[in-house]
Amino acid sequence: MAVRELIDKLNCEKKLSHDEWVKLIKEYDESDRTYAAELARCISQEMFGKDIYIRGIVEFSNICKNDCLYCGIRRSNGNVSRYRLTAEEILQCCDEGYGYGFRTFVLQSGEDAFYDREMLCGIVSEIKKRHSDCAVTLSLGEKSREDYEALFNAGADRYLLRHETADEEHYKKLHPAEMSWKNRMECLSDLKEIGYQTGCGMMIGSPYQTAECLAEDMEFMCDFKPEMIGIGPFLPHKDTPFRSCPQGSYELTLFLLSICRIMLPDVLLPATTALGTINPKGREQGVLSGANVIMPNLSPVAVRKKYMLYDNKICTGDESAQCRACLERRMESIGYKIKISRGDHI
């Protein structure tokens, strides 16, 4: 079966066999990518029209107990200037963001035990109290089921936890021995069971990744049916063991964005900052490939350059209002508009 026929089959049946996934990933060419993008764009417009949902990210701590081999804020990177925002600073970022039209706030950090259950629940419930028409998304890494339940009960709506890879052996090559793929997968199933709109995802082109690994990722997401998928190209960071590894493919990232949209038509799919870092028009091309979410930064400008998961990250010097206006123009330039809404999963 030719790649184009596989794309059509996926569009009809919403799944492929492992071997079909491998063939799709290994053998697609630029005309297949364009074909998938057009199809994905049509599906996205049927679901969401020309509306793009924005999420304001608050990166509130770059302190992390983990030592993931790809990550710029890994525990053993002594060159990072570490910081923590206070609860009041986090709330201030959200208050400002509300004024700019954000109706979803994404609280993201390294795995930092300083922010215990009580403190995090207090922050979440205060955001919901101040802004009852907003959604709160958390991206705080692996926690206990009890923590996840408490945060959900405090008002958190969504949780992003990239699975990173659905292949256990590949996971071991990207993470230190004390981290477990099984625990990551358990966390994801806990989140979904509790009732969060749950997001997973992976880097495209991470070291040791093969077409077989990516096929497993697609099969996992097909079964798991996340409400959100976060994928972006692997970008190396100079202070990690993977500093000299090549960056992930821009074209393959766009192709897989389209494929995710075709497989899960109603999924919330961001055009990531990493995509905009690898190519100046990356986020626009992401939207034209089927993405419907953009996640600009609401963190204080003073700390933005300290939250560098990879090198050369964009938009670290812009004020939040500038980011918002810039995105508005970027989306209008391709015929889309920013929608002021929570942008929930349908």
Helices (H), the chain: 3-13, 18-27, 30-48, 87-99, 117-130, 145-153, 168-174, 181-194, 211-224, 250-263, 273-278, 282-288, 301-304, 320-333
Pairwise CA distance, residues 251 & 86, whole Å: 40
Cβ 48 vs Cβ 25: under 8 Å: no
Pairwise CA distance, residues 242 & 253, whole Å: 19
Residue with tokens 């300083």, as numbered in its chain: 114
Residue with tokens 């889309």, as numbered in its chain: 336
DSSP state of 166: S
Residue with tokens 């899960």, as numbered in its chain: 264
- Is 254 annotated for ligand binding? no
Pairwise CA distance, residues 340 & 212, whole Å: 39
- Is 164 annotated for ligand binding? yes
Cβ 75 vs Cβ 66: under 8 Å: yes
| 79: helix, strand or coil | coil
Residue with tokens 């986090």, as numbered in its chain: 90
Q: Which residues pair with 149 in a beta bridge?
A: none
Pairwise CA distance, residues 309 & 74, whole Å: 9
- Is 139 annotated for ligand binding? yes
- Is 75 annotated for ligand binding? no
- Is 227 annotated for ligand binding? no
- Is 71 annotated for ligand binding? yes
- Is 64 annotated for ligand binding? yes
CB neighbour list of residue 112: distance below 8 Å, 6 or more residues apart: 61, 63, 64, 65, 84
What is 288-334 written as a DSSP string? Answer: HTT--EE--B-S-HHHHTT--SSTT-SSSSS-HHHHHHHHHHHHHHT
Pairwise CA distance, residues 128 & 103, whole Å: 11
Q: Which residues are annotated as a binding site for (3R)-3-methyl-D-ornithine?
A: 139, 235
Q: Which residues are annotated as a binding site for S-adenosyl-L-methionine?
A: 164, 184
Q: Which residues are annotated as a binding site?
A: 64, 68, 71, 139, 164, 184, 235
Q: Which residues are annotated as a binding site for [4Fe-4S] cluster?
A: 64, 68, 71
